[in-house]
Amino acid sequence: MAPSTYYAAKTRGPSQRAQREAVLGPSLIQLWKDNYCVYDLTYVPTWTGVAYVCFIVDAYSRMIVGWRVAAHMRTTMVLDAIEMARWSRGNTLTGLTCHSDAGSQFTSIRYGERLAEIGAVPSIRTIGDSFDNALAETVNGYYKSELIHGPARPEPWKTVADVELATLSWVHWHNTSRLHSYLGDVPPIEFEATLYATHRPVTGQNPIAPATNRIRATHLRP
């Protein structure tokens, strides 16, 4: 690097992106604290057809609370993932905001009705814009780099069932062992355990599924 370029970079002010993130960052974190999850679909080619994968991610703790692998991408696969999230977080998810892209599964009547039944509300990104659902896209990206195309998988995937079984193990590892820099280099389960130990749920609330009333607490990042 030329000296002139080096000193110019050292004295240059914050970029427009850095300034925008400084303004929007606190608002986004507060939004995630207030009970927010993101959805997205991806696909994995196999010898017997395409495996479609849906993840539901808690935006604050990065926990994958629901997922589904299927040989189709109909609305029912998303509803199955919602049922898993409902089972893990509570029968009702009052105040939960479910953010997704504008795919037909997320704009369907059945999807909207199911969210209304459990007390959640839908949120859909603008058409042709992936930035506001970047977290879901990121999860899809490292799911593929770590599992689907990872070094431990030198050969092609043969069946949808193979993908489903492998995804089951990967999700467990993701939630219990994978370190996330956003969480202070701890796995989601440890982050949530610390959060819930520090801010105990109210009497009568299920301590294992406290996200039904998301704790509005100070962010725990060091």
Check residue 103 and give its pLDDT. Answer: 85
Check residue 200 and give its pLDDT. Answer: 56
**Element at 64 (helix H, strand E):** strand 64-70
Give 122's strand partners.
98
CA distance 69 to 51: 6
Provide the angle, in degrees to the nearest 10, between the axes of the packed helices 160-176 and 188-198.
40
Burial-class residue 3 by CB neighbours within 10 Å (0-12, 13-18, 19+).
Answer: exposed
Q: Report residues of the chain scoring pLDDT below 70.
A: 1-10, 17-18, 20-34, 92, 125-132, 200-222
Give the contacts of 179 (CB within 8 A, at least 6 positions apart).
185, 186, 187
Check residue 88 and give its pLDDT. Answer: 84
Burial-class residue 146 by CB neighbours within 10 Å (0-12, 13-18, 19+).
Answer: middle
Check residue 60 and give its pLDDT. Answer: 87
**pLDDT tens digits, residue range 86-119?**
888 877 677 788 888 888 898 899 999 999 998 8
- Tokens 């989601």, located at residue: 188
CA distance 163 to 177: 20
Give the contacts of 118 (CB within 8 A, at least 6 positions apart).
82, 86, 91, 92, 93, 96
Check residue 222 and give its pLDDT. Answer: 33
Provide the angle, in degrees to the nearest 10, between the axes of the packed helices 109-118 and 75-89.
10
Give 123's strand partners.
99
